[in-house]
Amino acid sequence: MERIVQGMGISEVLKIMRSADGYYITNTARDMSQSDYKNRILLHTDLLAAPSREEAGYFSLEITGGASVHVDILRKQVDPFLKLELLREKMPKTMFQTLCRGINLFGYRPYPQNVIRFVVKEFAKYVDVWRVFDFMNHVPNMRAVFEEVQAAGKILEPCVCFSTGPEHTNDFYVKKVQSILDVTGEEIVLCIKNHGGLGSPKRIGDLVDAILQKYPDMVIHYHGHNTDGNDIGRIVAAAMAGAKIVDASDHAFTGYYGPPPILSVIHTLKEYGRNAVGINEAAIMETSDVLQPERKYYEYFESQIKGFDPTVQIHKLPGGAMGSSLEQAAKGGFLDKMPEILHKELPKVQIELGNYWSVTPGSQILWTTAVSNVQGGERYGNCSGDLKNLLLGKYGPFPFYQPPDWIYEKAFGPDWKQILERDGGMEAIEDIDLAKERKALADKLGYEPTEQQLVTYLQHPNDAVNFFRFEEKFGKVYVLPPSILFRRGGFKLGETITYKDHTGKEHIVEMGPMQESEDGSETNVYLNIDHHQRHFVFENAVAQAGEAKAAKLSKKEIEDLAKAGDVRAPFTANICEISVKEGQEVKAGEKLVVLEAMKMQTPVNSEVDGVVVKIVAKVGDAMQPGDELVKVTPAA
Amino acid sequence: MKKKILIANRGEIALRIIRAVQELGHIAVAIYETPDKDALHIRTADEAIWIGDGPRCDYLNIDKVIAVAKKSGVDAIHPGYGFLAENPDFAKACENSGIIFVGPPSEVIQSLGDKVTARRIMKEAGIPMVPGTDNLSAGDAGLREAIDFADKYGYPIMLKATAGGGGRGIRRVENEKQLRAELPMARAEAKSAFNNDSVYLEKVVINPKHVEVQIIADKEGNTVHLGSRDCSIQRRNQKLVEIAPSLIPDKALVDLICATAVTAAKASNYVNAGTVEFLVDRDWKFYFMEINTRVQVEHTVTEMVTGIDIVRTQIKLALGKNLSFTQDDVKIRGYAVEMRINAEDPQNNFMPEGGKTVSVYRSPGGYGVRLDGFVYQGFTIPKVYDSLLVKMTVFGFSWNETVDRLLRCLNNFVITGPKTTIPYYVNLVQDPDFKKGDFDTSFIETHSHLINYDDQVSEGNKLAHLIAEIHYKGENPYAI
């Protein structure tokens, strides 16, 4: 019974696994956080779990990657590299695993090659196992990451993304495995990535078997989601068919769409005569005992709809996107439309758009298209920029068939054939000048950034800068527990809070009163910090005079205004790019602004020929439908 | 017999005077403008009279102040510093109304307030003077006189308003072109500030020490000095830190300056407390600058090293007593430093922080500390007056002990709400040149790094800031 530990190379790992009597377990804590808690599980909580997780004897702990890198800086204000360093201190033996979206890295859009290589090199210093996928299963999209991982001597785990439907045959997947091996060579762990938790146990068992028939030495890692409540069935089938590694996580935090509980997997497979290699069950129990008291602080981030969702077999949303999609529906006030969106429209869109794999960023395209089709009145009446890029093949070729012509016509108008001819297909993204980016970041920060800061910045420029500034103002907040960071409704007068800062120094904060200034413009919050009285002043939000006048405009009104050159936001979104300057001449159809909603980008184009006379909004602004963006004076 | 004494001032000096009045067993009458309605001086005085909405106009309104004084039946008025303190018309109005003015007679204020007259008196008394002119003639003739003077003594020169004082109405001119440009502006400014467009010139003494002598005289002509003060640490002619006695190593020189101050006071028939200001250049030559005919902000340091209560003495003299001590009785012991703790943001060009509420006020105590302030926790600093919050005067037996105590007291001083000059002073008192006592009027300018204190709070405070925000918003706005 040999445990896999950090530092082992791929050959050694494969050798041990091939000869092992039993299977290994990956604790997919990251996926659990993403699927069931909107990625909010804090480093503080992971550090509590670290000692027992280290003793549990996992093949790997997936603790970074996916959307977590972005959410780390955006919502948890923790440096994704520092997180790995601190965990490594407590977990010297356990391999750390990431989930990488190939050319899209940890984001939603393709990055230039030199950025991909730079980012992977930096993360490879901390990450041992690299699970890499592409939502189109387009192997060239993963190539740069493959090469960098192998060059760094780390364990490469390419994925075949799995889905269901008549096209998704064993034969298709076996051939896909071959096209991966053609690029990587044989020293890999192969992942069957079942991000939706789709298919029956039998289906998964058959697939594992089919691959092993062709490649008997292949070490297969089965990854699933428990959205329908039946992933243990699929795991059992995969392991019985010969998969060597399976995914699950700590029962204290298992919920709905993420991984199932590790102990249930172990207990079930034991009955079938399969042993979890290197596993210490007591340590797994201890982890959940440590985690259990923390769960209540995360309640707010749990799914808006409780319970398992077997209808995932129809709508196929990946577990990692379920929580955020439902959150969007709740915030957008269309949670009641879920049956229509999930059970009717989304399955239809799936088929119409080629029945590719519903996983990031392809799942966001499917979801936003389905929502827009239901909410917008007209199906494909308002195609997002990302959908258009998908249709043009910018993400890669459609694996089975191209969407029907009428969708192209909806998206691109009557000249869609010429547009497809002219703009279709993947295009190489030009390398960016890293030295220039470094300089730009240094200028923004006022000091020379580290390599890691640059990596974070290259992936999410605005959010990275905001994060670095946040740290300057508030310090390293990862030391604070969820009971503080996620506190709702304020603290009690006289409540005492103690914490250690990142240098290990203890602090004690006693909550004092909160008082509004005489004119109501500010609020003072009084605290005793380390027995010294202090207060912080917050400016009270003023009900803006403009709010009344920004009365809701109808879709028709927004369109009419746009035709007169008064360009408004057509939907709720953030501005991610302003493409024009004041005084610039524009032609009808020319891009003015790019909006981002649900991680999907949509350009807002000019309806008229004219001159940009005023840019009202700026990058980063949150727009409501009808908010002013740009004013164009139409040419006479 | 109990006298009623009106304090025609506000802020810390009003409180300082009220205390002396009350210690003498007299009745203190405060006046106030509306923005001072929550001020401590009106709560401490035995009576307080509202004189108008202000701001700054009612405290300066001679007729109004005299009228309320008469109505209230006061015997004497103490003008403090600033406002009407050096206005001869006010002293005159008191005299005409049969009210005792606590200060010199109006004609003394008049002649010493007119800088040119003052220079003439001092010149006749043989007091060393910085080369300068009489009042410049009007128009082009004045410009000609100015250019001739500059040609003779060289640039830079100072353009000074005859009626100015307290660092106001002064312009430094580096060359003839600038002189031509600045002269009309200086006149216009003097006209609007002091209602008198007379200006005169003085040669600039480069980076002098500012040394002044507290003098006090009774109506019999008994005139003594209470030793020297060094007020070189100034920013744009506004004093920040004052020290008694002067740290000039040559004690004989300091004695000579003090004796000269007494001669100057006598030459001007001075009565009551005043200050004779000198410049000391780098060759240890000293020059008469002016006589301030009021109690100075920094009188506290002299009180600390002499033990003499200057304000009490002022009142006693004004009420007809003679000096109860002679020059021989005046002994200087130890050192005292006053730091003006202002509601200003040193890191933002010393911008005033008026309008803010003092949310925490915790002052230092213990041996050798004296505080003359007027703010309290919960007090909102009026925007319309000066930014002085409290004068912290620290006394010590030796210079080193005094400096040690300064740092301790500054570190123990907590004022939150407005930004203050405290963190700046924390740097200042640790500066090697300051510790050596080596400073002149260029100190603030040449020690610009003192501004580089870390206003950023500790890591514990940063995290607490987020906790405060989570508390205020009811949720963590950065996590949702």
Pair B274, B294: CB distance under 8 Å: yes
Question: Sheet holding A622-623: strands in order across?
Answer: A600-605, A591-597, A573-578, A622-623
A434 touches chain B (CB under 8 A): no
Are B425 and B450 in contact by the 8 Å Cβ rule? The answer is no
CA distance A493 to chain B (A): 10
Are B199 and B215 in the same domain?
no
Catalytic position from the list B229, B294, B340, B405? B294
Instruction: Work out the average pLDDT over B302-316.
Output: 98
Reply yes or no on whether the pLDDT at A547 is more than 70. no
| Within a domain: B428 | yes
pLDDT (mean) for B242-249:
96
What is the distance in angstroms between the Cα of A570 and the nearest Cα belonging to chain B?
24
Q: What is the CATH number of the domain that holds B256?
A: 3.30.470.20
Q: Quick check: A549 pLDDT over 50?
A: no
pLDDT of residue A154: 97
* Chain-centre distance for alpha carbon A385: 19
Q: Which of A472, A473, A485 sits opposite B479 (nearest CB)?
A: A485
Number of domains within chain B? 3
Q: What is the number of other CB atoms lying within 10 angstroms of the CB of residue A571?
A: 19
CA geometry: angle B75, B80, B83, nearest 5 deg: 105
Answer with the residue of higher pLDDT: A33 or B480. Answer: A33
The closest of A239, A250, A237 to A276, measured between CA atoms, is A239
Minimal CA separation from B46 to chain A, in Å: 29
Average pLDDT value for residue range B99-121: 93
Q: Chain A closest CA to B362's CA: distance in Å?
A: 9
Integer-rounded Cα Rg, in Å, for chain B is: 23
pLDDT of B166 higher than 80: no
- Boundary (domain end) residue, out of B159, B177, B203: B203
| pLDDT single digits (tens) A202-217 | 999 999 999 999 999 9
Q: Which residues of A touch B381 (CB under 8 A)?
A: none
User: What is the pLDDT confidence band of residue A621, given thresholds at 50, 70 and 90?
Assistant: confident
| Residue A389's pLDDT band (cuts 50, 70, 90) | very high
Q: Which residues of B touch A529 (CB under 8 A)?
A: 460-461, 464
**A446 Cβ contact list (under 8 Å, min separation 6):** none
Structural domain harbouring B179: 131-203
End-of-domain residue from the set B203, B228, B262: B203
Of A47, A149, A57, A59, give the one whose Cα is nearest residue A100: A149
Domains and their CATH numbers in chain A: 10-299 (3.20.20.70), 332-423 (no CATH), 489-542 (3.10.600.10), 551-634 (2.40.50.100)
End-to-end CA distance of chain B: 73
Tell me if chain B has a CB within 8 Å of the CB of A528.
no
The answer to whether the Cβ–Cβ distance between B463 and A477 falls below 8 Å is: yes
For residue A510, the chain B residues in CB contact (below 8 A) are none
Chain B hits for A446, CB-CB cut-off 8 Å, are none
Percent of chain A at pLDDT exceeding 70: 98
pLDDT at A548: 42
For residues A13 and A97, give the distance between their C-alpha atoms in angstroms, rounded to a whole number. 14
User: Which among B465, B471, B479 is the nearest to A511, CB-wise?
Assistant: B471
Count Cβ–Cβ pairs < 8 Å, chain A vs chain B.
107
Pair B153, B184 in one domain: yes
Smallest Cα distance from B30 to chain A, Å: 26
Asked if residue B477 is part of any domain, the answer here is: no
pLDDT band at A560 (very low <50, low <70, confident <90, very high): confident
Residue B48's pLDDT is what? 97
Query: Residue B461 domain-assigned?
Result: no
Distance CA B143, CA B151 (A): 12
Q: What proportions of chain A, in percent to the nearest 5, are helix, strand and coil?
A: 45, 20, 40
- On average, the pLDDT of chain B sits at 93
Domain annotation covers residue B121: no
Residue A207: DSSP 8-state: H
For residues A504 and A494, give the distance between their C-alpha atoms in angstroms, rounded to a whole number: 24
Phi, psi at residue A256, to the nearest 5°?
-120, -55
pLDDT computed for residue A595 by the predictor: 84
Cβ A632 vs Cβ A565: under 8 Å: yes
| Within-domain flag for B71 | yes
Q: What sections of A413-480 are H helices per DSSP?
A: 416-423, 434-445, 451-459, 461-474
The answer to whether residue B455 scores a pLDDT higher than 80 is no
Residues with Cβ within 8 Å of A545's Cβ and at least 6 positions away in sequence, in order, are none
Q: Are residues B418 and B279 in the same domain?
A: yes
Question: What mean pLDDT do residues A584-609 have?
Answer: 83
CB contact under 8 A, B360 and A517: no
DSSP, res A343: I
Residue A559: what pLDDT? 82
Beta strand B209-217 pairing with B272-280: antiparallel
CATH code for the domain of B178? 3.30.1490.20
Residues A97/A128, Cβ–Cβ less than 8 Å? yes
- Answer whether B470 sits within 8 Å of A77, measured CB to CB: no
Q: Tell which wins on pLDDT, B36 or B166.
A: B36
Measured CB to CB, residues of chain B less than 8 Å from chain A are 357, 359-360, 362, 380, 414, 416-417, 456-457, 459-472, 474-476, 478-480
Same domain, yes or no, for B199 and B213?
A: no
On whether any CB of chain B is under 8 Å from the CB of A475, the answer is yes
Which residues from chain B sit within 8 angstroms of residue A501, using beta carbons? 459-460, 463
Same domain, B191 and B269: no
B429 falls within a domain: yes
How much is the pLDDT for A628? 86
Q: Is the pLDDT of residue B52 over 50?
A: yes
Q: Do B282 and B378 fall into the same domain?
A: yes
Claim to verify: residue B267 and residue B140 sit in the same structural domain: no
Q: How far is A13 from chain B (nearest CA, A)?
A: 39
Q: What is the CATH number of the domain that holds B32?
A: 3.40.50.20
For the ranges A13-17, A63-67, A106-110, B470-474, the lowest mean pLDDT is seen at: A106-110
Q: Quick check: is B114 in a domain?
A: no
One domain for residues B46 and B183: no
- B41 min Cα distance to partner chain A (Å): 22
Picking from A491, A505, A533, the nearest residue to B471 by CB comes out as: A491
- Alpha-carbon gap, residue A289 to A293, rounded angstroms: 8
Nearest CA in chain B to A488: B475
Look at residue A543 in the predicted model and tell me its pLDDT: 53
pLDDT at B456: 53
Residue among A77, A511, A523 minimizing CB distance to B478: A77
Specify the residue for token string 């109808």. A554
- Say whether both B331 and B445 belong to one domain: yes
What is the pLDDT averaged over residues A421-441? 93
pTM of the model: 0.69
Residue in A485, A524, A529 closest to B464 by CB: A529
**A330 touching chain B per CB within 8 A:** no
Q: What is the pLDDT of residues A428-437, one digit of tens each?
A: 889 999 999 9
Residue type at A308? Answer: F
Are B67 and B214 members of one domain? Answer: no
Q: Which of B358, B363, B457, B476 to mutate to test the interface with A (most CBs of A within 10 A)?
A: B476
- The confidence score (pLDDT) of residue A574 equals 84
- With contacts defined as CB-CB under 8 Å, which chain B residues touch A536? 464-465, 468-469, 472
Domain end, chosen from B168, B203, B238, is at B203
B294 in active site: yes
For the residues B346-367, what does the mean pLDDT come to?
A: 90
Contacts of A467 in chain B (CB under 8 A): none
Q: Which residue of B has its CA nearest to A76?
A: B479
A5 pLDDT above the threshold of 80: yes
Query: In the prediction, which pLDDT does B428 show?
Result: 96
Residues B145 and B233 in one domain: no
Q: What is the rounded average pLDDT of the residues A485-505? A: 92
* Interchain contact A499–B (C-beta under 8 A): yes
Residue A372 CA to residue A381 CA, distance in Å, equals 8
pLDDT at B409: 96
Give A509's contacts in chain B (Cβ within 8 Å): 460, 464, 467
Place of tokens 């204020």: B109
All residues of chain B having their beta carbon less than 8 Å from the beta carbon of residue A517 are 357
Whole-number Å distance between alpha carbons of A418 and A410:
14
Is B107 within a domain? no
Q: Which has more pLDDT, A327 or A290?
A: A290
Please name the residue of chain A whose CA is at the shortest distance from the CA of residue B460.
Answer: A507
Using 50, 70 and 90 to split pLDDT, how confident is the model at A405?
very high
My answer on whether B152 and B222 are in the same domain is: no
Q: Which residue of B has its CA nearest to A530?
A: B460
Number of Cα atoms under 13 Å in the Cβ half of residue A145: 30
From first CA to last CA, the distance across chain A in angstroms is 81
pLDDT of residue A545: 47
Average pLDDT on B45-55 reads 95
Residues from chain A that touch B480, judged by Cβ atoms under 8 A, are: 75, 300
Nearest to B474 among A474, A489, A501 (CB): A489
Decide if B480 and A75 are in contact by the 8 Å CB cutoff.
Answer: yes
pLDDT tens digits, residue range B402-445?
Answer: 999 999 999 999 888 889 999 999 999 999 999 999 999 999 99
User: CB–CB of A509 and B464 under 8 A?
Assistant: yes
